[in-house]
A and B are shown apart, each in its own frame.
Chain A
Amino acid sequence: MSVSASLSVSVGGSNLRVPAGTTVATAVAMAGSPAMRTSVSGERRGALCGMGICFECRVTINGQPHQRSCQTVCAEGMEIETT
C-alpha cells in the first residue's frame, strides 16, 4: 500500500496531524502526555490493555464522554479531550 494520507485532529484544543488509521489513544500519546483520564481517587491514568477491555483510556470525543480511545480511529476534525 502507498503512504497513507494524514488528517487533522485536536487534543485538548491543540491541533495535531496524524497518519490515517491512527487510533485516538495513539494521538493523545503523540500530543505529549500518556495520561488519558483522572481516576475516582484522583490518579492520572493512561491506556493499559490497548484492546478495549480495561476502559482506562476513556476520553471525550466530539463532546461524547467515556469513549475508549484505543478502539477509536481518528477522523478528520475530531476533537479529543482528556479528563
Chain B
Amino acid sequence: MNTSVRHIEADVVIVGAGPAGLAAARAATQSRSVLLLDDNPAAGGQIWRGASERALQSLTRRRETGPLASPRIQRMFGVRIFAGDAARRALRAETATGALQIRYRDLVLATGARELFLPVPGWTLPNVMGAGGLQAMVKGGLPIAGKRIVVAGSGPLLLAVADVLRSKGAKVVAIAEQAPARAVNAFAWSLLQHPAKLLQAAALRTMQWGIPYWTDAWPVACIGNQQLERVMVMRKGRRVELECDYLACGFGLVPNTELAQQMGCAMQGDFVKVNDAQLTSQPHVYCAGEVTGIGGVQKSLDEGGVAGSVLGAAPVTALAALQRSRARWRRFEASLNHAFALRPELSTLADDETIVCRCEDVTWGRIRAHSHWLEAKLHTRCGMGPCQGRICGAALGVMRGKTGWQVESIREPVFPVRAETLAALGARREENS
C-alpha cells in the first residue's frame, strides 16, 4: 500500500488535548499559532472525554488566557506520534490514512497518564476494566443502566467514576479502596483546605446515594466463565464474594512519559523533570500535566497555563499567579500520593498461572524466575507486544519493585506503527539528507 507523507511546519505544537494541553493552547495563542494534536478522536483528554466545545471553553478558563476556538489553534485528532527528534525539532506520526512529518519551533508534551493495573487471578476476563476506561466507554455510549458494578483500587478517581456510573443508571455494588481508613480520613480533612470542588461533590453524592465505600479492601480474584461474573474482595482480612457485571479498577495513575523519554528529556523518578517554566532538559521541549507528577486536573491546568504563558509571552503578573496556584496544587498532589500509597499486600495478588503480560500471555510464574526486566523480556517476550510494556511494565514495578524492573530505554517507535508508514517516512528522510 502506498502511504502519502504530509509535511507540516508549525509554530507551537502541543501533544495532548487534555486539560494541560488545552490550557497551554489557550495561553500560547495570545501571540503564537498552535497546532494541537491528540491520539484520541476528540479534545478533552480522559477526564473531559465527550465534553462539548462550550463546556471545554469554560472548564479551561484561566486568568487572561486566549480563546479556545481560535483560527490560531489548529487541531488534529487520531494522530499517533511515534517518534520525536529534539535536535531537528521534528515529530513523526501516523493517522488512519497516512504519515505525518511535523516541524515545530516549540513543543509542549501534555501526554497525560494511564491507569495502573495490578494482575489478579482472572483479571483477563472480559468486563474487567479500568475505572477510567469503563467511564470512557460509558461516555462513548455504552449502556449500563441496571448493570452491577464493583469499583476497586485506590484514590479519589474511584469516587468520581462511581458517581458517573451511578448517574447513568448502574448499580454500584461497592467501592473497594485499598488504603486504610485513617489515611482516607486524613485526606478527606485535607480536602476541606483545598478547593477541590469536583472531588468534594463526587464524594458527597456517593455518600448520599448510599454506595458502600469500603476502606482496607481490594480485589483478590475475578471469577467467570466467558466473562466476569463475580469478584472476590479482601475486606479487613476477610474474603467477600460480590456478584457483578463489571469490575472497574484502577490503582492509581502512571504517566505517559514514553515520547518525552524517547526525545531525551531527563527524568526525575517516574516523571519528566521540568524547570519553573515547565521546560524540560531539551531545548524547546516543555512538559505539562500528569507527565511531570500525578496531581489532577487543576495542577494540569496550571502547568499547561504556565507553559503556554511562557511561550505566548504573557504578562509577568499573570504568569506569577499561575505559578503560585501551581505550587498549591503540587502540595495537594503530595498529600494525595501519601494518603493513597499502595499497601504491600497488593504486590502479591498474582499466582503462578496469572497472566501478567496480556499482549504475549506471559504468566507470573514464568516472569518471576528472572531477576530483571530485560532478562524476563528476552526469555519470555513479556512487554514485547503492541502495548510495549505499558501495562505489564507498570504492574511489575509494583510487584517486583522498581529497581531493575523499569522499562530501560525508550526507543522509537514509541507506538506500534504500520510498516508502510515507516517506509514512507524513512524514504523521505533519506531524500532530505
Contact = CB atoms under 8 A, between A and B. Distances in A.
B41 A73 contact: yes
B273 to A, nearest CB: 23
Classify the secondary structure of A's interface with B: loop
A25 to B, nearest CB: 6
Interface string A26-53: 1101100111100111011111111111
Prevailing SS type, chain B contact patch:
loop
Contacts of B329: none
A53 B130 CA distance: 11
Interface residues of A, number: 38
A55 B226 CA distance: 20
B46 interface: yes
A26 B137 contact: yes
Given A40-B360, A48-B358, A70 B126 contact: no
The interface centre, meaning the residue of B50, B78, B137 with most chain A CB atoms within 10 A of its CB, is B137
Interface of A: 1, 18-19, 21-23, 25-27, 29-30, 33-36, 39-41, 43-56, 58, 66, 70-73
User: Chain B interface: which size bin?
Assistant: 35 or more
Interface of B: 39-41, 46, 50, 52, 78, 96, 114-115, 117, 124, 126-130, 132-137, 140-143, 226-227, 256, 355, 358-361, 385-387, 390-391, 416
Given A48-B130, A51-B132, A55-B385, A18 B141 contact: yes
Contacts of A70: 133, 136-137, 140
A39 to B, nearest CB: 5
Contacts of A30: 141-143
B400 to A, nearest CB: 20
Contacts of A26: 137, 140-142
